[in-house]
Chains A and B, each alone.
Chain A
């Protein structure tokens, strides 16, 4: 029980740290977001009288007349109510609404792609580790090349080949605009079709890491005594590989899977930029480009909360696959 309380306490602290970071970044950075916004407005020939300035300050929550502490309390209060402010780039939609529209796209695309890549990497890593010393070993350096390729570069080349040249897949977008978003067969089919190439690029670029990690752990696990016992027991090789070697070797990868979720969301920003995918990463970029601070903070927050939540779930489930963490804690 103490184990779970500690875990939960950690997540509360992490969440608080993220919230606070989110609050202080705009305030600690050189330059004032309001100034930047005003400058942009001026460039476009807009009016820059003090009332506009005041309006922006209120909008961004960077009211300099309030003490910092009061601002912080007000910020936390707003978050509790789910009020993330008004998006400037999609004025006057609330930032939370923009986020809710785009979030499912990212979760489905990136979620499925990540799970696929994890599963594929684990399976391949198991086999490569098991068949150590055969030609399969050469797969290992090969996958590092893939892992070292800049993700967006690979994605763009795949788009150029499979999208532009071969026309197998659509170039961009999350669905065919002729359909209305909704739960109907045509739309879902179109969404899957559009999501294939982005998902493929995510899998290709991230599978190598899982493969390498799993393979190394397999090699370590295979020299353990319980493998020898299993062989002496006359078990079938397939069973030794899965229930003895891989079962033990996969543990760090599962723990790593939780951590990697953070990197996954970061990867999705580039994916969505390359494919103009209607997900949250694209929105974050749009917010950055348009100095939409409310949206930027809101999205960062949602991403952080999602990563923390996913970590928490994996953490709690970890006890199921490693009995040693269940007991004695």
Chain B
């Protein structure tokens, strides 16, 4: 792939739009759209205005010439202003401007439509075929389109038009020249999208099923490209009408037909503006502008189909989890989530088998004696059309130095709760009632929900820091690790010197076991486990009292996961902060935490010391959760893989994700994204490759330390 710009590689993943067609930003929707319904833009004022403008002008071009009389009739009334006889006045030679306008509109639409069709066909051919077939064909096609893209269009058109004698320059010639020079940009967009579609599971399934290539392209791929094609078509029509007008204005337009461009050309040559005959000059330009504007407005609506993120904020609906994690989902990371997530989780479940691992001395009285965070009757509601009550009346107390596990299935509200504690929730999520109080080391009680925005800003991270799931996306990809650690210190500790800041950054990296030389690396140069360690180092920077960890290890393979968990325990002991540990993996919590809150549908259904919850689960849901991990019975026999280092990790048991996959509580599809650390390339993230990478991981990895970056 020979690219003009590096952006194309990103565009192939769908996460970044091709700027050449700003109106057509592709983002894969993740799953195939079924039915035509999803391809029809949703109704909006923009769309209504756009359609209205386009239809009105199209009708005017279609029917106008039938009613307005002969535009070529020359009269001896030169440049008369608009009047009853001539609604838009007359030209220099006394021709009716209105009649000319109708005819010219028809001419321009004709050219625009023809060029739009031709250019879209060309770009579809080169983009889709190239992207689908790949290999040498793709190399050739994308080289061709890139060359066409850098060779400047209009000068080329002008040169070509200059060589074609005026009497042979029909509107067909102009249209073909414009189409040939105008297809390249959208071909690139289409190619990028085809590339990402080609790797989707349903396309692979069709291929495996033995469908013929043309059928895969037309049945599986083309329907998903329709919104993009429509947007590119609309774009091509606007561009064609504008280009034709420009050419005609330069005197290089079609000689035998009348378009808005030629009309402007005559108006300019007749000194319409200089002589104040605005009625001759302004209307043709207005028609072009309004038509272009109408098409652009329609394009907005098409764009919202292609890229759901562009939709109106207030329209976003659905569960809380999805809303907050939309970045991760949008990044195309959700493909193949099921098996991978289960593989990791299943292992954690087994590892908890020896219940003795639960830290002792976590009696409720002890905790209440010295709380660091108190959550009282917290309610969070997503204010959408039918409001979703994501967190219902939750009360929790976090003791100093305590690890509180927050367990529950995907979408149960645990992440929403965690974000609400730090007020990171975004509209439409809203805390409707309740209180969050942080009992500061210095003795003050901080009412988090009542903080003013600047107080909240300085509260965040210095008192309460967070570790997000999937450090792959939680770190800014374009600035170095050092800069991302450093900006915490420059913001919260402005008095620190440059050297002292660097010293502190080095120190925390060393704490989490990352070579400080990695400080000047960029996130993509680190392995997944290292990135998660960097995230933890970042969370340690300001010596916070509470750390919220939102599935910090879900995306990692089990060996790395284990190493990181051990270190979290060690930090807790050494540095004495309290942890809210969120996961769907209850057995892991049994081992790790002091107390556990089990959440279901926004409510805490059970809240008890870990050991107690394990021995005597009170709520049926907890029992169900616990029962869904077969390894808890202690029967490990047939699942054990040979060749594993059982001594090093005594808790490590069978790693197959199988039993867990059909456990009763996984009633909703997982949104946890499997992020593997084996590669940062796009292809590895898609499809079954991700799952394979993780299930193969434990056997292959022998050392808990991080591997070198690739």
Binding site for B on A (CB under 8 A): 6-7, 9-10, 13-14, 17-18, 21-22, 25-26, 29-31, 33, 36, 132-133, 140-141, 144-145, 147-154, 156-157, 159-160, 164, 209-210, 212-213, 216-217, 219-220, 223-236, 239, 243-244, 247-248, 251-253, 255-260, 262-263, 265-267, 269-270, 273, 284-285, 287-289, 291, 293, 296-297, 299-300, 303-304, 307-308, 311, 314-315, 318-319, 321-325, 327-328
A6 and B9 alpha carbons, distance in the complex (Å): 15
A158 and B192 alpha carbons, distance in the complex (Å): 40
Q: Is the CB of B303 within 8 A of A9?
A: no
A25 and B246 alpha carbons, distance in the complex (Å): 21
Q: Is the CB of A212 within 8 A of B19?
A: no
Q: Is the CB of A213 within 8 A of B155?
A: no
What is the minimal beta-carbon distance from B315 to any residue of chain A, in angstroms? 11
Q: Is the CB of A259 within 8 A of B19?
A: yes
Q: In this assembly, does B46 line the interface, its C-beta being within 8 Å of a C-beta of chain A?
A: yes
Q: In this assembly, does B264 line the interface, its C-beta being within 8 Å of a C-beta of chain A?
A: yes
Q: Is the CB of B165 within 8 A of A230?
A: no
A30 and B479 alpha carbons, distance in the complex (Å): 56
A193 and B151 alpha carbons, distance in the complex (Å): 32
Q: Is the CB of A148 within 8 A of B326?
A: no
What is the minimal beta-carbon distance from B517 to any residue of chain A, in angstroms? 15
A267 and B246 alpha carbons, distance in the complex (Å): 9
Q: Cβ of B556: which chain A residues have Cβ within 8 Å of it?
A: none
A310 and B333 alpha carbons, distance in the complex (Å): 35
From known contacts A29-B160, A224-B473, infer whether A216 and B18 are also in contact, taking CB-CB under 8 Å.
Answer: no
A288 and B158 alpha carbons, distance in the complex (Å): 8
A270 and B268 alpha carbons, distance in the complex (Å): 13
Other-chain contact of B288, A153, A231, A232 (Cβ < 8 Å): A153
What is the minimal beta-carbon distance from B539 to any residue of chain A, in angstroms? 9
Q: Cβ of B307: which chain A residues have Cβ within 8 Å of it?
A: 216, 220
From known contacts A30-B168, A226-B475, infer whether A14 and B246 are also in contact, taking CB-CB under 8 Å.
Answer: no
What is the minimal beta-carbon distance from A329 to any residue of chain B, in angstroms? 9
Q: Is the CB of A148 within 8 A of B238?
A: yes
Count chain B residues whose beta carbon lies closer than 8 angstroms to a beta carbon of A: 115
Q: Is the CB of B151 within 8 A of A21?
A: yes
Give the residue name and chain of the B residue nearest to A235 (CB): B491
Q: Is the CB of A217 within 8 A of B17?
A: yes
Q: Is the CB of A225 within 8 A of B327?
A: yes
Q: Cβ of A270: which chain B residues have Cβ within 8 Å of it?
A: 246, 249-250
Known: A30-B165, A288-B159. 11 other contacts (CB 8 A): A7-B2, A9-B2, A31-B163, A144-B297, A145-B289, A232-B460, A233-B460, A263-B154, A267-B154, A304-B155, A319-B6
Give the residue name and chain of the B residue nearest to A280 (CB): B155
From known contacts A231-B424, A262-B152, A315-B4, infer whether A324 and B477 are also in contact, taking CB-CB under 8 Å.
Answer: yes
Q: Cβ of B424: which chain A residues have Cβ within 8 Å of it?
A: 228, 231-232
Mark each residue of chain B from 17 to 51: 1 if its CB lies under 8 Å from any CB of chain A, else 0.
11110110101000000000000000000100000
Give the residue name and chain of the B residue nearest to A150 (CB): B245
Segment at the A interface, from B344-352, B461-469, B500-508, B627-635: B461-469
A17 and B146 alpha carbons, distance in the complex (Å): 11
A52 and B394 alpha carbons, distance in the complex (Å): 96
Other-chain contact of B25, A216, A244, A285 (Cβ < 8 Å): A216
Q: In this assembly, does B488 line the interface, its C-beta being within 8 Å of a C-beta of chain A?
A: yes
Q: Cβ of B616: which chain A residues have Cβ within 8 Å of it?
A: none
A223 and B285 alpha carbons, distance in the complex (Å): 39
Q: Is the CB of A220 within 8 A of B330?
A: yes
Other-chain contact of A300, B155, B295, B326, B331 (Cβ < 8 Å): B155
A147 and B293 alpha carbons, distance in the complex (Å): 8
Q: Cβ of A26: which chain B residues have Cβ within 8 Å of it?
A: 163
Q: Cβ of A164: which chain B residues have Cβ within 8 Å of it?
A: 273-274
Q: Is the CB of B155 within 8 A of A229?
A: no
Interface of A is mostly: helix
Q: Is the CB of A150 within 8 A of B288?
A: yes
Binding site for A on B (CB under 8 A): 2-11, 15-20, 22-23, 25, 27, 46, 143, 146-147, 149-156, 158-165, 168, 185, 238, 242, 245-246, 249-252, 261, 264, 268, 273-274, 281-282, 284-285, 288-293, 295-297, 300, 303, 307, 309-310, 313-314, 324, 326-328, 330-331, 422, 424, 427, 456-462, 465-466, 468, 470, 473-480, 483, 487-488, 491-492, 522, 524-525, 535, 538, 680, 710
Q: Is the CB of A244 within 8 A of B143?
A: no
What is the minimal beta-carbon distance from A287 to any residue of chain B, in angstroms? 7
A152 and B268 alpha carbons, distance in the complex (Å): 10
From known contacts A36-B165, A145-B289, A225-B468, infer whether A262 and B297 are also in contact, taking CB-CB under 8 Å.
Answer: no
Pull 11 A–B residue pairs with CB atoms less than 8 Å apart, ordered by A.
A21-B151, A150-B242, A150-B245, A223-B309, A229-B476, A235-B491, A243-B476, A304-B150, A315-B4, A327-B524, A328-B710
Q: Is the CB of B331 within 8 A of A224?
A: yes
Other-chain contact of B264, A150, A232, A260 (Cβ < 8 Å): A150
Q: Cβ of B23: which chain A residues have Cβ within 8 Å of it?
A: 212
What is the minimal beta-carbon distance from B230 to any residue of chain A, in angstroms? 17
Other-chain contact of A31, B164, B300, B524 (Cβ < 8 Å): B164
What is the minimal beta-carbon distance from B228 to any residue of chain A, in angstroms? 14
A255 and B8 alpha carbons, distance in the complex (Å): 9
From known contacts A262-B152, A287-B162, A307-B152, infer whether A148 and B288 are also in contact, taking CB-CB under 8 Å.
Answer: yes
Q: Cβ of B152: which chain A residues have Cβ within 8 Å of it?
A: 262-263, 265-266, 303-304, 307
What is the minimal beta-carbon distance from A30 to any residue of chain B, in angstroms? 6
Other-chain contact of A251, B7, B159, B457, B479 (Cβ < 8 Å): B7
What is the minimal beta-carbon distance from B483 to any residue of chain A, in angstroms? 8
A318 and B460 alpha carbons, distance in the complex (Å): 34
What is the minimal beta-carbon distance from A60 to any residue of chain B, in angstroms? 11
Other-chain contact of B5, A225, A232, A259, A267 (Cβ < 8 Å): A259
Q: Is the CB of B4 within 8 A of A248?
A: no
Q: Is the CB of A259 within 8 A of B300?
A: no
Q: Is the CB of B296 within 8 A of A148?
A: yes
Q: Is the CB of A252 within 8 A of B522?
A: no
A199 and B303 alpha carbons, distance in the complex (Å): 31
What is the minimal beta-carbon distance from B482 to any residue of chain A, in angstroms? 12
A152 and B424 alpha carbons, distance in the complex (Å): 49
Q: Cβ of A149: which chain B residues have Cβ within 8 Å of it?
A: 285, 288-289, 292
Other-chain contact of A234, B161, B252, B491, B524 (Cβ < 8 Å): B491
Q: Is the CB of B327 within 8 A of A228?
A: yes
Q: Is the CB of A25 within 8 A of B163?
A: yes
Give the residue name and chain of the A residue nearest to B475 (CB): A226
Q: Cβ of B314: which chain A residues have Cβ within 8 Å of it?
A: 133
A14 and B7 alpha carbons, distance in the complex (Å): 19
Q: Cβ of A219: which chain B residues have Cβ within 8 Å of it?
A: 309-310
Q: Is the CB of A255 within 8 A of B264?
A: no
Q: Is the CB of B4 within 8 A of A259?
A: yes
Q: Is the CB of B476 within 8 A of A265?
A: no
Q: Is the CB of B2 within 8 A of A10?
A: yes
A243 and B459 alpha carbons, distance in the complex (Å): 21
Q: Cβ of B252: which chain A residues have Cβ within 8 Å of it?
A: 288
A311 and B20 alpha carbons, distance in the complex (Å): 13
Q: Is the CB of A141 within 8 A of B487?
A: no
Q: Is the CB of A265 within 8 A of B155?
A: yes
From known contacts A216-B17, A259-B20, A287-B162, infer whether A234 and B7 are also in contact, taking CB-CB under 8 Å.
Answer: no
Q: Cβ of B296: which chain A residues have Cβ within 8 Å of it?
A: 141, 144-145, 147-148
Q: Is the CB of A318 within 8 A of B160?
A: no
Q: Is the CB of B273 within 8 A of A233?
A: no
What is the minimal beta-carbon distance from A1 to any residue of chain B, in angstroms? 15
A157 and B273 alpha carbons, distance in the complex (Å): 8
A256 and B11 alpha carbons, distance in the complex (Å): 12
Give the residue name and chain of the A residue nearest to B46 (CB): A141
From known contacts A30-B164, A228-B468, A327-B525, infer whether A148 and B289 are also in contact, taking CB-CB under 8 Å.
Answer: yes
Q: Is the CB of A311 within 8 A of B4?
A: yes
Q: Is the CB of B474 within 8 A of A225?
A: yes
Q: Cβ of B289: which chain A residues have Cβ within 8 Å of it?
A: 145, 148-150, 153
Q: Is the CB of B19 within 8 A of A297?
A: no
Q: Cβ of B161: which chain A residues have Cβ within 8 Å of it?
A: 288
A227 and B274 alpha carbons, distance in the complex (Å): 54
A241 and B274 alpha carbons, distance in the complex (Å): 47
Q: Cβ of A263: which chain B residues have Cβ within 8 Å of it?
A: 152-154
